[in-house]
């Protein structure tokens, strides 16, 4: 039986605005969202000052028990190796055929782990990822968000495009409703509201 549980990584300085559309609309379409942290029982604080208590630890997270792992950006992605275990977990997920979605600084973490070396991807700008020394620069794509197989990537200014790729990959909406959803939240198209709610 296919799982309907999505896992959102949370860590200090995570960019809370980058995953809000994704998690809210997944929850509204029948998915369960659970948070994953490095340690049990220790709250983390987002860039916006929101406190989150992880539902489970990264060590306890299994790809076969998840529909998707979402990695938000965070200041810590570029401040050392503290978040490297999340990039390693992403590699494990992809190896098991379970999708991973990374936005903003999380893409640099995946680049350092070698996850982007053989997959099309995007980020904030190409030279941001190039600074990691990764081998996948030829696969960098100038786009709001990119899906390559089980990997979804986006830059920090594209949380709606990021959510569109996630919702599409998990089948939360059919193609027509997904198009209406994107036109409503990305383009402020009032006609899309009725299409989405038809």
Summarize pLDDT for 59-110 with one digit per residue, the tens. Answer: 999 999 999 999 999 999 999 999 999 999 999 999 999 999 999 999 999 9
Cα 126 to Cα 19, 33, 88, 108, 162, distances in angstroms: 22, 31, 22, 10, 17
- CA-only gyration radius of the chain, Å: 16
In a domain, 84, yes or no: yes
Residue pointed to by tokens 């549980």:
5
Summarize pLDDT for 1-58 with one digit per residue, the tens. Answer: 467 999 999 999 999 999 999 999 999 999 999 999 999 789 999 999 999 999 999 9
In a domain, 189, yes or no: no
Domain of 144 in residue numbering reads as 5-173
Predicted confidence band at 198 (pLDDT cuts at 50, 70, 90)?
Answer: confident
Q: In the annotation, is 133 catalytic?
A: no
3-state secondary structure of 71: strand
Summarize pLDDT for 119-128 with one digit per residue, the tens. Answer: 999 999 999 9
Query: In this structure, what CATH number is given to the domain that contains residue 148?
Result: 3.40.50.880
In a domain, 56, yes or no: yes
In a domain, 65, yes or no: yes
As for how many domains the chain has, the answer is 1
Closest-CA residue to 72 (of 133, 158, 3): 158
In a domain, 62, yes or no: yes
From the candidates 70, 104, 151, 154, which is the catalytic residue?
104
In a domain, 43, yes or no: yes
In a domain, 29, yes or no: yes
**φ, ψ at 70 (rounded to 5°):** -105, 125
* pLDDT over threshold 50, residue 140: yes
At 1 the pLDDT is 46
In a domain, 195, yes or no: no
């Amino acid at each position: 039986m296919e799982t309907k549980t999505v896992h959102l990584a949370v860590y200090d300085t995570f960019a809370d605005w980058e995953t809000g559309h994704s998690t809210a609309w997944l929850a509204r379409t029948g998915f369960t969202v659970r948070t994953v942290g490095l340690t049990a029982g220790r709250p983390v604080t987002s860039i916006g000052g929101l406190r989150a208590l992880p539902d489970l630890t990264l060590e306890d997270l299994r790809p076969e028990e998840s529909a998707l792992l979402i990695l938000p950006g965070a200041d810590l992605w570029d401040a050392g190796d503290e978040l490297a275990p999340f990039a390693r977990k992403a590699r494990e997920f992809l190896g098991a055929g379970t999708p991973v979605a990374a936005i903003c600084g999380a893409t640099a973490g995946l680049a350092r782990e070698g996850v982007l070396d053989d997959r099309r991807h995007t980020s904030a700008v190409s030279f941001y990822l190039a600074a990691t020394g990764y081998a996948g620069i030829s696969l960098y794509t100038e786009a709001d968000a990119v899906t390559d197989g089980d990997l979804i990537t986006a830059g920090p200014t594209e949380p709606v495009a990021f959510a569109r790729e996630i919702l599409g990959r998990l089948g939360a909406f059919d193609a027509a409703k997904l198009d209406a959803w994107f036109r409503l939240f990305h383009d402020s198209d009032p006609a899309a509201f009725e299409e989405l709610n038809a």
